[in-house]
Amino acid sequence: MSLPPLIAAKNLSVHYALRGGLIGPKPYVGAVENVSIEITAGSFFGLVGESGSGKTTLGRAMLRAAPISKGDVLFNDGEVSYSLKNLGKKDLKDYRKRAQLIFQDPYAALSPRMTVRDIIAEPLEVMGLTKSRAETDARVREIADKCRLNVEHLRRFPHAFSGGQRQRISIARALVSGPKFIVADESVAALDVSIQADVLNLLKAIQEDMGLTFLFISHDLSVVAHVCDHVAVMYLGRIVESAPTRTLFAKPRHPYTSALLSAIPSLDPDDRGTAQKLEGEIPSPTNPPPGCKFQTRCPHAIDRCRVEEPVFESAGIEHNVACHRWQELSI
Amino acid sequence: MSRLIDVENLTLQFDTDEGRITAVDNVSFSLEAGEVMGLVGESGSGKSVTAKSLMKLNPRNAVYGPETKITLHLENGPVDVMSLQNDAEMKIVRGGSISLIFQEPMASFAPAISIGEQMVEQLLIHTDFSKAQAKELSIEMLDRVGISDPATRFSQYAFELSGGMRQRAMIAMALSTKPKLLIADEPTTALDVTIQAQVIDLMKDLVTEFGMGIIFITHDLGVIAQTADKVAVMYLGRLVEQGTVRDVIRRPAHPYTRGLLAALPTLDDIDAPLTPIPGDIPSPLERPPGCVYNTRCQEIIGPRCAAEVPQFSQVDTNHAAACHLHDPKEGDA
């Protein structure tokens, strides 16, 4: 990429220890293994994959909300430059202002005992960003207005709001500290299609308006196609393909990407059953298969795939893929 | 094909502390054997309540409208579901001729009883099988839905199975009593797309094999396009459009259906803007007068929309919409 990345993962691994293993090396789950991605400032970066692929863990590691076991995450917004692996307490507090998270479930993410005003104001108070109550109120109103919340309703409690409005409240809370980088983890998955369209449009508008950088985690490829500039596909803790949205959807190189694409139900009632179906399920990360992690379900797997793990290599401009056979397969 | 179920003027209200709320308002439809009907709508539109009322599976505060008539056509003659009083009478319908698959497969299995025991239990209630026969059939059904090593799975518990596997087991269980009608309430919503595709394929195969009718409840129009023969669109307790799947998706006649389709991200044109339907679905306590959709409708034709409840008018053979657009009168704009 030509522009310098705002945030980049360098050979990042996140391991969680497992019980047992008194003798020999400690057993662990590799939730994220050797992942390198660069997210350009001002981009909308999509991260897709099935449940259990490690999308959420990667997102959290980039917020320093998951432990970094190997590798590093580098953040540089022009004002500060951090290596997240070795972040001191003071710097970590500062990083929290600059990087924020929007959750999936707007019903679980908001405290039912706090008013909307208090929910949105809390980050300001915790981080000590405002000096007086009047300043806090002004900032809350400004951000609420930006998120198209009715400022007259700020004294109400979350139960009085619908799912879409609640999600706008969570967005306002994430934006209030003036962050540069936002991780949106399945932020529209729990919403009806009409409200989903509304929240996606809002996120895009805010991103352009405030110059934000998004890591947009989703299992829904059609949503990702509509909002993201660049998409990375994850499988069992690894990135298997990464490309600009158009390229990825027009010319997927990895068999997993193309299987995901063809599994999306078509809106055409006459286009039934033509899809190539993926057999089986994602293996457990506690016991990953040898070689390519996708070989157990891949229709194109050969002997080499079962022993040797493919490297993540360039397959075009900004297009990377980890597959032994991407060149010979025309999928 | 033979008629399987007739639902006429189904109205269902709930007595709550805040008053009596209407969940389903004068809904009528019918289903043939071997037919798949998709029931679509946003959360709160009354899809699940409608489906559950086909076997009177509603809480005690439910009040059915006096006009409500649900007729299930079985081999031994029609059954008037509304006239069934106690649990013993309901047995022929609940789990017998109608089976239900829930959205969340983790929540629909008892966690402390093995999958197999739960499958056997319902077979003992609904059939005259012996325990051994029930076990044999259960294992056969688990195998049929593509669960590997079914004999081992039979004695496992729900937490030992993955999400897709659990949903398959749920389908195996629902089908083992050979129901005439299967109600699938968002059966694939909690699943990943690859697993969703597998489950959809499985359900299609089973319809062909068993010849049952399916009511497929979902908010995903893509899933509907892939599975259903016909579609009913629901909004705030009322049906607003009914028709064959091709007609409804290609030539939506009701502004709400058009709104749902415009809000849907599709892969055919990734640059197309996503157009949300303005506003939120109103609370069932504040149901708008006239057409229930008039508070959000982009195609209002005049004051009639907020005053008069639109009746279904035919827009094509086998395609009808409840909208004044298709029933113009003098004085409309």
Does a structural domain hold residue B256?
Answer: yes
Q: Give the pLDDT of residue A5.
A: 92
pLDDT digits (tens, 9 = 90+) for A139-151: 999 999 999 998 8
CA closest to A262 among chain B residues: B194
B213-247 pLDDT tens trace: 999 998 888 889 989 999 999 999 999 999 999 99
Q: What is the pTM of this model?
A: 0.87
Provide the residue range defining the domain that includes B298.
251-326
Query: What is the rounded CA–CA span in Å between residue B275 and residue A122?
Result: 33
Chain B, nearest residue to A228 by Cα: B270
Query: Which is nearest to A285 in space by CA: A30, A73, A88?
Result: A30
Residue A22 maps to a domain: no
The pLDDT of B252-256, averaged and rounded, is 96
Q: Residue B282: what pLDDT? A: 86
Span A102-126, mean pLDDT?
Answer: 92
Whether the pLDDT of residue B260 is over 60: the answer is yes
B1 — pLDDT class (breaks 50, 70, 90): low
Cα A130 to Cα A121: distance, rounded to the nearest angstrom: 10
When CB atoms are compared, the residue of B196, B226, B276 closest to A197 is: B276
Residue B78 has pLDDT above 80, yes or no: yes
pLDDT band, residue B201 (cuts 50/70/90) = confident
What would the mean pLDDT of B282-296 be, rounded to a whole number? 91
What pLDDT is recorded for position B329?
79
User: What band does B165 get if pLDDT is binned at 50, 70 and 90?
Assistant: confident
Query: How high does pLDDT run on average in chain A?
Result: 91
Q: How far is A84 from chain B (nearest CA, A)?
A: 32
Segment A152-157 shows an average pLDDT of 92
* Residue A316 belongs to a domain: yes
Tell me the C-alpha distance between B167 and B188, whole Å.
8
The pair of structure tokens assigned to A1 is 């990429």
* pLDDT number for residue A268: 87
Taking the Cβ of residue A79 and every Cβ of chain B, the question of whether any pair is shorter than 8 Å is answered with no
Q: What local confidence, expressed as pLDDT, does residue B323 receive?
A: 95
Q: What is the pLDDT of residue A141?
A: 95
Cα angle for residues B72, B215, A105 (degrees, 5° grid): 135
Determine, yes or no, domain membership for A274. Answer: yes
In the prediction, which pLDDT does B204 show?
A: 83
Give the three-class secondary structure for B121: helix
Has residue B68 been placed in a domain? no
Distance from CA of A104 to the nearest CA of B (A): 14
Which phi and psi (to 5°) does residue B214 adopt?
Answer: -130, 135
Percentage of chain A exceeding pLDDT 90: 71
Q: Which of B194, B249, B256, B258 to mutate to test the interface with A (most CBs of A within 10 A)?
A: B194
CA dihedral B23, B25, B28, B33 (to 10 degrees): 0
Would the pLDDT of A97 be above 90?
yes
Q: Say yes or no for a CB contact (<8 Å) between B193 and A268.
A: no
Q: Indicate whether A322 belongs to any domain.
A: yes
Q: Which residues of B touch A221 (CB under 8 A)?
A: 193, 267
Put simply, the answer to whether A263 touches B194 (Cβ < 8 Å) is yes
In whole numbers, what is the pLDDT of chain B averaged over residues? 89
Does the residue B45 lie in any domain? no
Confidence of residue A67 (pLDDT cuts 50, 70, 90): very high
Candidates B42, B226, B274; nearest CB to A266: B226
pLDDT tens sequence across A263-321:
888 888 888 765 567 888 888 888 899 999 999 999 999 999 999 999 999 999 999 99
Asked if A269 lies within 8 A of B226 by C-beta distance, the reply is: yes
- Pick the residue from chain A with its C-alpha nearest to B266: A222
- Pair A292, A310: CB distance under 8 Å: yes
Query: For residue B2, is pLDDT > 70?
Result: yes
Within a domain: A194: no
Q: Is B296 helix (H, G, I), strand (E, B) or coil?
A: coil
Instruction: List the 132-171 stretch of A: residues with Cβ below 8 A of B.
Output: 162-165
Taking residues B136-158, report their average pLDDT: 90
Closest CB to B192: pick one of A219, A222, A269. Answer: A219
Residue of A nearest to B197 (CA): A263
With respect to residue B306, please indicate whether it lies within any of the assigned structural domains.
yes
Instruction: Give phi and psi for A253, each to the nearest 5.
Output: -105, -30
Q: Is residue B305 part of a domain?
A: yes
User: Which residues on chain B are in Cβ contact (under 8 Å) with A281?
Assistant: 162, 164-165, 195
* Inter-chain residue contact B265 with A223, CB threshold 8 Å: yes
- Mind listing the pLDDT tens digit for each residue in A208-266? 999 999 999 998 899 999 999 999 999 999 999 999 999 999 999 999 999 998 888 88
Highest mean pLDDT pick, A190-199, B137-146, B180-189, B251-260:
B251-260
- Cβ A219–B193 below 8 Å, yes or no? yes
User: Measured between CA atoms, how close is A126 to chain B, in angstroms?
Assistant: 33
- For the cut 90, the answer to whether the pLDDT of residue B175 exceeds it is no
Exposure b/e, B261-284, CB count within 10 A at least 16 = b: bbbbbbeeebeeebbbbeebbbeb
Is residue A86, in this structure, part of any structural domain at all?
no
pLDDT score, position A35:
95
Q: CA A13 to CA A113: how far, in whole Å?
A: 38
Contact predicate A241/A252, CB 8 Å: yes
ipTM for the predicted complex comes to 0.82
- B270 within a domain of the structure (yes/no): yes
Residue A150: inside a domain: no
Residue A51 has its nearest CB partner, among B192, B220, B263, at B192
At residue B273, the pLDDT reads 86
What is the number of structural domains in chain A?
1
In a domain, B157, yes or no: no
Q: How high is the pLDDT of residue B331?
A: 63
pLDDT at A1: 45
Report the DSSP beta bridge partners of residue B213.
Answer: B181
Q: For residues A56-75, give the mean pLDDT.
A: 95
From B204, B263, B273, residue closest to A194, measured CB to CB = B263
Check residue B177 and give its pLDDT: 87
User: For chain B, what percent of residues have pLDDT higher than 70?
Assistant: 98
Integer Cα distance of B311 and B240 in angstroms = 9
Q: What is the tally of structural domains in chain B?
A: 1
Residue B205 confidence (pLDDT) above 80: yes
Residue A51: its chain B contacts at CB < 8 A? Answer: 163, 192
Which chain B residues touch A269 with a CB distance below 8 Å?
A: 225-226, 245-246, 249-250
In a domain, A304, yes or no: yes
pLDDT tens per residue, range A169-204: 999 999 999 999 999 998 888 788 888 999 999 999
